């Protein structure tokens, strides 16, 4: 299990290739890449704030719980912090398990929790100024599916 | 001394992110009251739905006594991914 917070951009393909390498006992790897998107064509930059020492510990706790809940063999979570330009990957999640169902569910679950329960604060800098993004009712309901 | 940390919208509203308090109040609720008395807008933001507090990087849901060396963080609703 590996959890990384980093300011540097990452290559999701390279992460997935590395994660899949040498897994003769693994039947399934499911990965998700979240990409910062420009809204309605407006050029926006996202800024992700974390609480060092707390954010990483909370994500590790979420990942450990998912490992047990979905009988996973491995989990990788990479999350950007700091300014992120549209089109750049913001989050990468990969789950490895013996069978596909658990890996699909785990990736879905991990993303739902990262969206509204991991300690990040997201600010959007757009043409009309900056605003803080809070989880939507949909984000909260998505995470509650797993409670 | 304790250290108070603000995240997300809270630090924008207050105009500070981290602050030492040499003579802290006795409890977390008194600290909230003290910060609110100093800055009404921050007080309103701290009282908003979904704002949590963490002491030494552990979320606390009840009022607790403060002690020297503690790190108190106020956390608005979280949004990642």
Per-domain boundaries in chain A: 2-19+36-144
Which residue among B76, B78, B81 places its CB closest to the CB of A90? B81
Residue B13 CB partners (closer than 8 Å, separation 6+): B39, B41, B42, B45
More confident of the two residues B22 and A116: B22
In chain A, the DSSP E strands lie at 2-6, 28-35, 45-50, 74-80, 82-84, 89-97, 120-126, 129-133
Instruction: Look up the CATH number of the domain holding residue B33.
Output: 3.10.20.30
pLDDT given at position A40:
66
Asked if the C-beta of B9 comes within 8 angstroms of chain A's C-beta atoms, the answer is yes
Asked if the C-beta of A117 comes within 8 angstroms of chain B's C-beta atoms, the answer is yes
Is residue B11 included in any domain, yes or no? yes
pLDDT given at position A134:
83
pLDDT given at position A94:
98
- Using DSSP, state whether A107 is helix, strand or coil: helix
Number of domains in chain B: 1
CB count, 10 Å around CB of A56?
18
Residue A55 CB partners (closer than 8 Å, separation 6+): A5, A118, A119, A120
pLDDT given at position A47:
93
Are residues A114 and B76, on separate chains, in Cβ contact within 8 Å?
Answer: no
Q: What is the pLDDT along chain A (147 residues), one digit of tens a residue?
A: 999 999 999 999 999 999 999 999 999 999 999 999 876 666 678 999 999 999 999 999 999 999 999 999 999 999 999 999 999 999 999 999 999 999 999 999 999 999 988 999 999 888 888 889 888 888 889 899 998
Q: Which fold would CATH assign to domain A2-19+36-144?
A: Aldehyde Oxidoreductase; domain 3 (3.90.1170)
Q: What is the ipTM of this complex?
A: 0.90
- Chain B nearest-CA distance from A41, in A, is 20
Structural domain range at position B25: 2-75
Asked if the C-beta of A133 comes within 8 angstroms of chain B's C-beta atoms, the answer is yes
pLDDT given at position B38:
96
Are residues B81 and A111, on separate chains, in Cβ contact within 8 Å?
Answer: yes
Is residue B80 included in any domain, yes or no? no
Are residues A54 and B80, on separate chains, in Cβ contact within 8 Å?
Answer: no
Please give the Cα distance from A135 to A78 (Å, whole number): 20
- Chain A nearest-CA distance from B25, in A, is 24
pLDDT confidence tier of residue B68, bands split at 50, 70 and 90? very high
pLDDT given at position B72:
98
Residues B26-64 as b or e (16 or more Cβ within 10 Å = b): eebeebbeebbeebeebbebbeeeebebbbebeeeeeee
Asked if the C-beta of B57 comes within 8 angstroms of chain A's C-beta atoms, the answer is yes
Task: Give percent of chain B with pLDDT exceeding 90.
Answer: 93
The pLDDT tens digits for B23-60 are 999 999 999 999 999 999 999 999 999 999 999 999 99
């Amino acid at each position: 299990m590996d959890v990384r917070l980093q300011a540097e951009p990452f290559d999701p393909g390279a992460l997935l290739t590395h994660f899949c390498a040498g897994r003769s006992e693994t039947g399934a790897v499911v990965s998700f890449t979240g990409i910062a998107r420009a809204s309605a064509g407006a050029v926006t930059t996202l800024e992700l704030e974390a609480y060092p020492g707390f954010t990483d510990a909370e994500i590790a706790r979420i990942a450990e719980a998912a490992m047990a809940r979905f009988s996973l063999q491995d989990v990788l979570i990479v999350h950007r912090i700091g300014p992120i330009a549209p089109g750049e990957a913001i989050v990468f999640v990969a789950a490895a398990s013996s069978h596909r169902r658990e890996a699909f569910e785990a990736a879905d679950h991990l993303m739902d929790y990262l969206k509204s329960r991991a300690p990040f604060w997201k600010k959007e800098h757009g043409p009309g100024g900056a605003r803080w993004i809070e989880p939507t009712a949909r984000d909260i309901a998505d995470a509650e599916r797993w409670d | 001394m304790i250290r108070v940390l603000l995240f997300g919208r809270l630090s924008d509203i207050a105009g500070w992110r981290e602050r030492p308090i040499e003579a802290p109040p006795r409890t977390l609720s008194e600290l909230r009251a003290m910060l609110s008395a100093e800055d009404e807008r921050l007080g309103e933001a701290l009282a908003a739905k979904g704002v949590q507090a963490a002491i030494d990087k552990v979320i606390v849901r009840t009022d607790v006594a403060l002690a020297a060396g503690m790190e108190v963080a106020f956390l608005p609703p979280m949004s990642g991914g």
